[in-house]
Amino acid sequence: MSKYVSAYASPLGQIVIAAEEDSLVGLCFSDKAVLVPQEASAVISQTEKWLDAYFDGEDPIRNISCLAKGTLFQETVWQILMTIPYGSTMSYQEIADRTCSLLGKKRMSAQAVGQAVSKNPILILIPCHRVLGKGGLLKGYSGGMERQRSLLQLESHI
């Protein structure tokens, strides 16, 4: 299996992009000055173009194959994240309710959803920055609260 890694200079800091074969498997902010070997792959190039458009304030079409590996619960939560439209948000509790419906559960805590959201390996494309706490509060974004605020402002939400 071929693996590729690259670094992308975003307005919010360095983003490390990871791909396997023809799928994106990782997209995360790196606050450390990491020297990442720039490896060419179609999915890395496609992701960089998508990020260029996104940071230019566009709502680019998600046509990148993403392979986020996790538990059934985590993957269900991440699929729900993918349904949150650009410029919109959803609460942890709303996601818990949808997850219950999809998994045939009666109840689920928002905290359990928060744990799954925090394990999202593909930030921005799987838009966990669009998830807010009770009362619309920014809460626990793995890329950092300032980045979450900036991403939501970019999408003209707040």
Give the contacts of 85 (CB within 8 A, at least 6 positions apart): none
pLDDT by residue, tens only, the chain of 158 residues:
788 999 999 999 999 999 998 999 999 999 876 666 666 799 999 999 999 999 999 999 999 999 999 999 999 999 999 999 999 999 999 999 999 999 999 999 999 999 999 999 999 999 999 999 988 889 889 899 999 999 999 998 55
Q: List, in sequence order, every residue forming a beta bridge with 29; answer none if it has no partner.
A: 15
- Half-sphere CA count of 70, side-chain side, radius 13 A: 20
The pLDDT of residue 33 is 64
- pTM of the prediction? 0.91
Q: CA torsion angle for 133, 139, 142, 146 (degrees, to 10)?
A: 130
In the structure encoding, which two tokens stand for residue 34, read together? 């990491």
Give the contacts of 152 (CB within 8 A, at least 6 positions apart): 89, 129, 130, 138, 158
The pLDDT of residue 48 is 96
In the structure encoding, which two tokens stand for residue 66, read together? 């993403």
The pLDDT of residue 32 is 73
The number of angstroms, rounded, from the C-alpha of 17 to the middle of its chain's C-alpha atoms is 12
Active site residue 66: no
In the structure encoding, which two tokens stand for residue 109, read together? 């805590």
